[in-house]
Amino acid sequence: EKINKVCQQLNIINDCDIIHAYAEAYNRKLTQVFCFKVPTTFYEVTLEERARMFGPTCVVPQLTKCLLYENRLAPPDARDIPYSKYYLMIYQYERKFSEPKFHTFIKSLRSTDKKFVFLTKSSYKWSFVEEAEASKIVGSVHNGMSPIGLTDMEIPVLVDSWIKSDFIYVGGLHPFTKAKVKLSELLSSFKTT
């Protein structure tokens, strides 16, 4: 009964997954977040159909996915953007991830910081983190992965430079919960580039 009243006052759906996403967003000091439940057919339809599920203002380039990437040769406590054990990447669904471009980007960052000039190509061995481990680190499961639940706030969050919208749609910590977040607020809440 109390939860119903709070949800009514906040104008949010009384759903455990939605409430969890809002609570984690609040913990991360994100205030411009809007959470949605999507149908179980969400991953079976085109990106255009997915965008329409969020209403007329959503377009495909706003749909993003988050993946946890690991430098298997970095020490477990490495958390600097030019040299980290993990990177949480946010990029558009319509784009493909490119490891060579990612490595070139990281290499460009380390070249501007004297602390990292000693690193060579052999200092990196890239792989996507196994789903079970990624769930522990990010605080969410596959298809719900999101910076909102990131358990280690020192992990760099990398946002695809092609993302130009004020708002993007990310995972909502559950496969059928999504969150619309203000990109500038997201960038200021995490260690990002």
Instruction: Estimate to the nearest angstrom the gap between the alpha carbon of 84 and the chain centroid.
Output: 16
Check whether 187 has a pLDDT greater than 90: no
Which tens digit of pLDDT belongs to each residue from 147-163? 988 888 889 999 988 89
- pLDDT at site 111: 67
Which tens digit of pLDDT belongs to each residue from 35-81? 999 999 999 999 999 999 999 999 999 999 999 999 999 999 998 88
Q: Read out DSSP for 83-151? A: EESEEEEEEETTS---HHHHHHHHHHHHTT-GGGTT--GGG--EEEPPHHHHHHHHSS-TTT--GGG-S
Q: What is the pTM of this model?
A: 0.87
Which tens digit of pLDDT belongs to each residue from 1-24? 777 777 676 667 777 888 889 889
- pLDDT at site 115: 77
- pLDDT at site 20: 87
Which tens digit of pLDDT belongs to each residue from 107-123? 888 767 777 778 888 88
Q: Indicate the pLDDT class of residue 27, thresholds 50, 70 and 90.
A: confident
CA dihedral 5, 10, 15, 18 (to 10 degrees): -160
- Please choose, from the candidates 144, 142, 169, 181, the residue with its C-alpha nearest in 3D space to the C-alpha of residue 20: 144
Domains of the chain from N-terminus onward = 2-189 (3.90.960.10)
